[in-house]
Amino acid sequence: MENHQTAAAFEKQLRVDIVSAERSIFSGIAKMVVVAGEEGELGILPGHSQLLTRIKPGEVRVVKAEGGEEMYYVSGGFLEVQPYLASILADTVIRGTDIDEERALEAKSHAEKVLSEKSKKDKEYAAALIELTRAIAQLKIARKLHDQAKK
């Protein structure tokens, strides 16, 4: 009976690993993980079918098994899903609590300035567009965390 209960409990859990190019950022048990996929947001629950997909720069939200949430910014990368394992591999991962909102605002302003001055054919335009996307994603996470802290 105890083994059956243990197996049933395991089936309701999802192991999540978030790894940057430098190190492992998060490894733990979650109820769910939400990732910004190329086709939209992906919500991964325990028992999800196998999947390998690219993810775009944006928010990763981990709903932890013991309660609470953690948010991360990822620069893009890959998501691999097995029924009870979700692995996120990204070049850059920043914990939501470590996002420097002032720096992200400066990056956003700089990118907007470059976009207003350059032609769409200019290499700097493409780089500024990427910088703007990253800054907006980081600001979105920082603001969500501020709103949660107020509640």
CA atoms in the 13 A half-sphere facing the CB of 97 = 5
105 with 87, same domain?
no
81 with 105, same domain?
no
CATH of the domain at 83: 2.60.15.10
Q: Which residues contact 148 (CB under 8 A, 6 or more apart)?
A: none
pTM: 0.83
| Among the ranges given (53-57, 74-78, 120-124), the one the predictor scored with the smallest mean pLDDT | 120-124
61 with 118, same domain?
no
11 with 82, same domain?
yes
- DSSP conformational letter for 83: T
CA atoms in the 13 A half-sphere facing the CB of 116 = 6
How confident is the model over 124-136, as pLDDT tens digits?
A: 888 999 999 999 9
78 with 122, same domain?
no
Q: Provide the domain limits for residue 80.
A: 1-94
pLDDT at 10: 52
Q: Is 23:12 a contact under the CB 8 Å cutoff? A: no
81 with 116, same domain?
no
76 with 121, same domain?
no
The answer, yes or no, to whether residue 6 has pLDDT greater than 90, is no
How confident is the model over 17-62, as pLDDT tens digits?
A: 999 999 999 999 999 999 998 888 999 999 999 999 999 999 999 9
CA distances from 104 to 25, 49, 98, 147 (A): 21, 36, 12, 17
Euclidean distance between CA atoms 150 and 113, whole angstroms: 32
For the chain, the domain total comes to: 2
Question: What is the band of 121 on the pLDDT scale with cuts at 50, 70, 90?
Answer: confident
The answer, yes or no, to whether residue 149 has pLDDT greater than 90, is no
